Amino acid sequence: MNSSSRLTTEAVEPARALPPGPSVQEVLDGDTRPVPEVLREQSPLFLGDADIPVERYTSRAFHDAEMAHVWKKVWQVACRERDIPEAGDYIVYEIGKESIIVVRTHDGGIRAFPNACLHRGTQLRTCAGKVDRFRCPFHGFTWSLEGELIAKPAAWDFPHVTKENFRMPDIRVGTWGGFVFICLAEDTEPLETYLETLPRYFERWPLENRHKAAHVGKVIKCNWKVAMEAFLEGYHIPATHPQTVSYAGDASSQYDVWPEVRHVNRVLAWFGATNPTTSSQGGEQKMLDAMLREMPVAGKPGDIELKPGETARAVLAERFRTVLGKSSGVDLSGVSDAEMLDSLQYYLFPNFVPWSGIGAPLVYRWRPNGDDPESCLFEVMYLFVRPSDEPPKRDTPMKLLGDDETFADAPELGGLGPLLDQDLDNLERIQRGLHALHKPGVTLANYQEVRIRHVHMILDRYIEAGKAAAA
């Protein structure tokens, strides 16, 4: 294996080995409802086996290259549209040293501006809120919600400042799925083509028809990719989440990387099927009770007694249809078992991970913590389905956990909190271990960790294109 810093390759081939059964597709064959065709697609690829250089996670030089050639070029999620539902509502989105105001304007549109006074650079706002104009706290220069200069104190001393040359520079804005995206580069492709195939996978359950009921974030002492990569594979489940191995597919997950798709990949992982290496021990009832222990929304262990011939997967999916259908007001009677139970996780480069289906309405996001290559902000959201004709509600703002708080301390996350803490227990140890590795690169599994390799290949393309353009 080679540990050169360049991983980009245009050559792809089918995966050389696939995991032992039952496969995701075999489990879907036995579902009690028709499964959406998008979940029947498969694209297992082999992308090489070169090590990932350690400096990608630890070095200031690689971090600076990412900041210059990735974060300043890509489309990235800034907020939900319902985070800023009314005129004057705004958020402050920060990435590296960049700070951007995203605001709802008087005409109902959304615009984004640099969070800096054009006079002497003072930061205009420090946190989310609601205003009728943006006024600099230093000298009082003021702009409208649309970015028009409306006040310049001591105007007699600024004949060279006009409404035309002191208009707030616009930062590109796009929306999809109820999310607001921003892009700092003028020459990056439109959001519509940047998203590639992602919208097709969410046609059945559009994310704009959801309410963000929980949003929790925490600063973690590791590179943003270390944190993200922990959630792009199921290989870690038996060691990190041993309480789930009786019902989770782990090694049987399906990883899809499409050769013609530049920014999107996914993993499909079943829950509640019989795994011959784990869950067959103890039978279906024991598996069902284990799932109820981790999914309290459906009840608690002992609440449901399986009848002869019933499976834990089918019965729990039906319980989810009943419970979640009642709480959401949406008819879920025709929804497949997979959409009710399974992990249907998609990835959009560089840091946006929305889940499809109903039973796990999650979104993950990671980004560098300021300009620090060895810390990041990790966020998790719950997007609950709601009737399409229900008036939209203001989304729940993010709760930022303190250094001494865990995700289990956020009751709005329910049973997910302790699971996330199991993941996060590893992350700071990984970052420290990378400095002590005495080996130039990190070694990946060819199939189970292919999505991680795919991310690094995309990083390469952006960084190399940026350097070529600057040469």
**pLDDT for 93-152, tens place per residue?**
999 999 999 999 999 999 999 999 999 999 999 999 999 999 999 999 999 999 999 999
Reported for 100-108, long-range contacts at CB under 8 A and 24+ positions apart, including other chains, are 100/171, 100/182, 100/184, 101/125, 101/134, 102/78, 102/173, 102/180, 102/182, 103/145, 104/145, 105/145, 105/146, 106/145, 106/146
What whole-number distance in Å separates Cα of residue 178 and Cα of residue 161? 38
Encoded tokens for 11? 């050559």
What whole-number distance in Å separates Cα of residue 323 and Cα of residue 240? 29
Q: Is residue 426 scored above 90 in pLDDT?
A: yes
- Least confident stretch, 144-153, 174-183, 389-398: 389-398
| pLDDT at site 28 | 95
Q: Could you give the domains of the chain?
A: 13-68+203-470 (3.90.380.10), 75-176 (2.102.10.10)
388-405: buried (b, 16+ CB within 10 Å) or exposed (e) per residue? eeeeeeebbebbebeeee
- Tell which residue, 334, 365, 336, has the closest CA to residue 349: 365
**pLDDT mean over 430-455:** 96
Let me know: does 278 contact 239? Beta carbons within 8 Å. no
- Tell which residue, 181, 153, 185, has the closest CA to residue 69: 185
- Tell which residue, 76, 69, 117, 74, has the closest CA to residue 93: 76
User: In sequence order, which ranges of 95-236 are alpha helices (DSSP H)?
Assistant: 191-194, 198-201, 224-229
Let me know: does 242 contact 256? Beta carbons within 8 Å. no
**pLDDT for 341-350, tens place per residue?**
999 999 999 9
Q: Is residue 265 scored above 80 in pLDDT?
A: yes
Q: First CA to last CA across the chain, in angstroms?
A: 30
Q: Is residue 279 scored above 50 in pLDDT?
A: no
What whole-number distance in Å separates Cα of residue 94 and Cα of residue 371? 10
DSSP strand E in 273-409: where? 343-348, 352-354, 362-369, 372-385, 399-400
Model pTM score: 0.94
Q: Which of helix, strand or coil describes residue 181?
A: strand
